Each structure stands twice: as C-alpha cells, then as structure tokens.
Chains A and B, each alone.
Chain A
Amino acid sequence: MGVTEFEVTEFKKAKAVYESRVDKTLQKNPERKAAFTTGGGIPLARLYDPESLEGHDYARDVGFPGEYPFTRGVQPTMYRGRFWTMRQYAGFATAEESNARYRYLLERGTTGLSVAFDLPTQIGYDTDHHMAAGECGKVGVAIDSLADMEILFDKIPLDRVSTSMTINAPAAVLLAMYICVGEKQGVRADMLSGTIQNDILKEYIARGTYIFPPHPSMRLITDIFDFCGREVPKWNTISISGYHIREAGSTAIQEVAFTLADGIAYAEAARKKGLDPDDFGERLSFFFNAHNDFLEEVAKFRAARRLWARIMKERFGATNPKAQMLRFHTQTAGCTLTAQQPENNIIRVTLQALAAVMGGTQSLHTNSMDEALALPTEKSVEIALRTQQVVAYESGVTSTVDPLAGSYVVEKLTDEIEAGAMEYIRKIDEMGGMLHAIEKGYPQKQIQDAAYDYQKSVESGDTAVVGVNRFQADEGTSHRKLLRVDSSVEQRQVEKLRKLRESRDNVAVKERLEGIRRGAKDEETNLMPLILDAVRVYATEGEICGVLREEFGEYVENIVL
C-alpha cells in the first residue's frame, strides 16, 4: 500500500490542525485525568492513527486467520463456521446434584461440560480424610472414586459431549476415571474429547491446589502427554492457565507472560522426555481471563496467539501449524464481580464476554451475577448462558472474522502487550526458566504487587468500581436466594465411601496401589496405565494420591509477602 509523499504531507498538515484544536479544547475543557492507562496500566494516547503503527508489518505481524502467526484467529472462517463452545463451569455437592445441573445446562443449549471439583478432590484427599473436613462439595463436586464418576456422567453420552475438568495435581487420576466411564458406556478412549487443566505451575504461582513438588509433578504431566498422544489423541492434555494468575491480581501483560512462560516450561519438559513438539504441541491448550478493559483484553488475546506461535516456531522448531496455534478457553473475570448491586455484574460479564469473542476464543464460560457471594443459582447460571447466546446470535460481531483488526489502538496494544510479555519471558529465561523463577518467588511477587496497587487505586478512587466506590446504593445483600451446600452432603458422601470400601475387591485394590508405588520409584515407567488399573478396581483418589504423596513428598509453599 504505497503512501505518496503528497499524502504524507497532507496527513501531517491535517494532524497539526487537529492538535492545535486539541490545545484550544484543553484550555477550555481539561480532560478528566492527567494520564489515561488501560486497566493493566499501559499508557493510552489520546488518539491512535496511522503514525502509531510505524514499523508494523501486516504480513509479518497480523496475517490472515488460520495462518501463522494466527493473530487474527486459529481458523480461516472463525465464528462464521461455528460459534465457540459455550462451556459453563459447574459442580457442587455430590455427583447426583452435579449430574442434574449438567443435564439442566445441556437442555438449555450449553455445548460442552466443565467440571468443578471440590477442594478435597483437587488436593487428593478422600472426603473422610481429616484435612477434608468442612470442604465436601463446597466449591465443586466431591469425587472419591470411579463409582462417583459413573454417577456424575450418568445418561451423558461421552462420545457426544466434550468435557473440561479443572483438575491439576491429581489430573491423571480423574482422567483415568473419565476413561473408565467411557469404557462402561462403550466409548473408546480415542473417541473421547475434552480437556484436563493439568497445569501445576500456575498452582504454585497463583491457585494453590498443588500436592507434589515440581519434579514429580512435571513427570506426571509429561506421562499424561505421552499416554494421551497414543491412547486418547483427541484429548487436550493441558490447559495452560493465565486465568488464575489474573484473578490473583496480575496485569494483562503479566497474564500473557507468565502463562506462556509456563507453556515454555511444559514444552521443554516434554521435549526432554523425547516427545516431538509437532505432536504434543497440537494438544496444548490455554485458558485466559476476560477482564474489564475491553480494548486491552481484545489485544491481549491477539498478542498471546501471535507470541505463542512465534515461540513454538522459533524456540521449539514446530512446523506443524496446529502445534503453533494457541487455542484457548476464556472465563470472564470473577474478581471484577461485586457483592454490591450484583445485577450490575450481568453488564460486566456481557462486556467481558464480548471481548473474549472479539479476541477469538474457542470456548467461553460466563460468570453468574451472584458469584461474589456464593455458587450460582440455576436462575443466574441461565442468565449467564443467555448472555453468550445473545452475543453469538444477536450482536453481529460473529459475522466477520477478527472485526477489530486494523484498529490503530488495538493493533498498537497488541504489539505492546506482546513486547511487554517478551520482556518478562526474557527475565524468566535469565533466572533459568519458570521453575526457578517460582522458587525465587518472582511471579508471585509481581502478581502481589499488582494486586496491592490495584486495591490502593480502588480505595483512592483512581479506579472506579460502579456500586462500590461510585454510585453506591444503600442495600443489603441478605435474603437473596443463594445456593447452599449443607453439612449433610458430607455425611452422605462419607457414608458412600464407607460402603464402597466394604464392597470392593480390597485385595485387588492393594495390589494395584503397590503397582503405582513401584512405578513411582522408576522414572522410566509411565504412571498412567498403572493409575488406570487402580481406578478400575475402585481404588479411591485419596488412596492413589496417598501412595504418590509417600513416594514423591509434598510441595511446601514459598511464602512471599
């Protein structure tokens, strides 16, 4: 696109006129603030124009959808072909209640499942363990054994529904249970599709549901990569997550940087195991947050996609386009929900969902309005799902691919977020990679500082939160209908577990647990088949993780304040 000298001169003249007008305007009407930034602190100019993108190269930096570096999206036609997967994260109480919730969601047009497990399940304790007291079924569904998993997916055909499971430290055990449920339904492992989160590094950084130390944790992860590559080829073996990093308080740039730095660590571990980046790279997936600052968020998704493509190609030598593509799930930002005037959250979620869609997400969870207070009720979940459906079917933004491309500000922010993230990744490389950076507390400290700055900025009023520090209303949150999980849930689950331990073949259980123990001692053994054997005879999650705890030890948090 040749720009003539005449056009450049005309442009400069016109811009000078505009700028003198701005000066006059400012004398009469100063701007609202001395400086404007994105929510993540990137300085924003008053105006972006063609000059803002000097040095920007469309072919190199943007390109076409479905083509390297995938800035405009991973498919050539994006949502003109098919909408994103509408996947609502859900789970509470026992398998029976959660199964009913999944069927409720499927009946209302949700297109994929996303399982929330309770904390004991996420940390590898059976419900009757003393550390599990008080937590059963609170933040997700309690799963102790294959028997619970069979109930969880009762009458849900695993060959027709894809399932995402937010499970990390014990991901191998829950994946094994899912494979067994498939077997019982007559669905072979190679027909299963879904995702396990399986991202331990962000647990150390931001989320907290770790069990084992880094080394054996990375081994479990690469065992899963290897096993699924052969046996469960349609499965996304990891969902490398920036979501929780952002929820813990990071900026948008840090979210991209730390997530992709985690991705680099996994890819390096897999390569060290002898796996081919062109193979395992295809099954890596990502998970990002959709926060409040609309333009910054759209740019963030585009920047993450481009940077990951460059990393896979340049750093890992991947030539398979599918291994270069960053495919991702998005969840709207839970930390932006307010307990005050919760109906306002519906609007926040709408804008965040729109950003995720304009950023080219492959699947989306929209939060419910009541989640600053409790797990969502059916009614509020329905509104959240309807929000996605309105964006998909009514807003029109899905009718053309990557509609904000070419916007001066969006392209500029995309460049700046990529550059900012690369700078962090360079620092992490200098520390010897993400595992060392975590040991030093580096990402943790960066995130905490950002979280504390944000809190101070809300308290000073620099950051506006409608209903909290602006436009407050005198209102109580009490007597709203909230979902409650009472303690009888725990009693029922403990009773189920007691009966299971009485009725199963305990000799077989013991034998298979010993098999896992032997496997754990030998680095060359892939633990996945051994875990499958144990799950099949109804060894519990806590028993399997208990053996691994004995062999691997437990992670001790590096407290940074």
Chain B
Amino acid sequence: MSDKKKIRVVIAKPGLDGHDRGAKVIARALRDAGMEIIYTGLRQTPEQIVTTAIQEDADAIGISILSGAHQFYFKRVIDLLKEKNASDIIVFGGGVIPEDDIPSLLDLGAGAIFGPGTPTSTAIEWLEKAVLTKS
C-alpha cells in the first residue's frame, strides 16, 4: 500500500431511519482526519450500499442506524459482501444499539460498533488501524 493512498469510507444510512446527525458528524470527522468519504444519504437498501462500496473501491462501510433494525441490516450488508467476494471491505457502525446486541454484530463480522457518546477520535483511530492491518 502506498502511503499516499487515502482511506475511502462509505457512510451509509440503511433502511427507513431518518436520523442522520450522527452519520453526517462522523462523515465530517473522518473527512477532517484526511479520509475520503462517500455519504449515501437516507433510505439505502443493503444492495445499494454494497454496490456503492464496491464501485467506489471503499476500504470500509460505516453504518449508522438508530431505528433498532441493526441486526437485520448488518447481517444483510455483511452477507452481500460475502456473496460478492468483497469481504475485505471493513464494516463498522454506530447508533442506538444496546451493548447486549454488540457481540452478535461482531460475530456476524462487523469490525466495531461505537455506541452513543463515543468520541469521533476513537472511531478514527480504530479505522486507521483496521485498514492498515487489512492491507
């Protein structure tokens, strides 16, 4: 990997959830940290999210979800990545997600889940390391 290559991240809002404050804040924080950000906007199907990530040659997909439908959407996105042989794309996320639900999301293959109150710097550091380890 060349040192110059910027980390590319798709920030995604799956499903019908309209809460985009967190998605936009994390998108800007990652951008300010020097990453390239593709923000999908609202109401994306898992298929659209995965297609965007592959087309954009993304290193990671960050899923923001506050509607309680996280189990469903993380599973769909991760399964689709597998189907398309794109499991090298890191999946992480945040939102209103109870701590008890995190282990099962990690078991599915999510790299990290950041709950309410997480500083953006924590997510940035984690993502930089995760992308570095992967390549």
Contacts and interface: CB of A to CB of B under 8 A. Distances in A.
Contact of B98 (A125, A374, A468): A374
B19 A208 contact: yes
A199 to B, nearest CB: 13
Given A135-B67, A139-B17, 7 more contacts: A119-B15, A135-B72, A139-B68, A451-B21, A451-B25, A458-B119, A459-B120
A477 B100 CA distance: 8
Contacts of B33: none
B116 to A, nearest CB: 4
Contacts of B106: none
- Determine chain B's interface SS by DSSP, over half rule: loop
Interface residues of A, number: 46
B100 A479 contact: yes
Contact of A139 (B67, B99, B117): B67
B15 A339 contact: no
Contacts, number: 109
Contacts of A557: 41-43
Nearest to A125: B16
A222 interface: no
Contact of B119 (A207, A452, A459, A476): A459
Contacts of B39: 559, 561
B34 to A, nearest CB: 16
B28 A135 contact: no
13 contacts: A138-B69, A208-B20, A338-B117, A372-B116, A374-B96, A448-B21, A465-B117, A478-B98, A478-B100, A480-B98, A482-B100, A557-B41, A557-B42
A139 B116 CA distance: 17
Residue of B99, B115, B120 with most partner-chain A CB within 10 A: B99
Interface string A440-483: 00000000100110010011000001001000000011111010
Contact of A375 (B17, B29, B68, B115): B68
Contacts of A559: 39, 41
A452 B67 contact: no
Contacts of B19: 208
Interface of B: 15-21, 24-25, 27-29, 31, 37, 39, 41-43, 45, 67-69, 71-73, 76, 96-100, 115-117, 119-121
A133 interface: yes
B68 A248 contact: no
Contacts of B37: 561
A249 B21 contact: yes
Nearest to B42: A208
B16 A476 contact: no
B16 A373 contact: no
Given A133-B72, A373-B96, A559-B41, A335 B16 contact: no
Contact of B21 (A123, A203, A247): A247
B18 A455 contact: no
B16 A482 contact: no
A455 B25 contact: yes
Nearest to B45: A131
A340 interface: yes
A367 interface: no
Contacts of B16: 119-120, 122-123, 125, 131-132, 135, 209
A317 interface: no
Contacts of A30: none
B117 A340 contact: yes
A465 B116 CA distance: 12
A134 interface: yes
A437 interface: no
A485 interface: yes
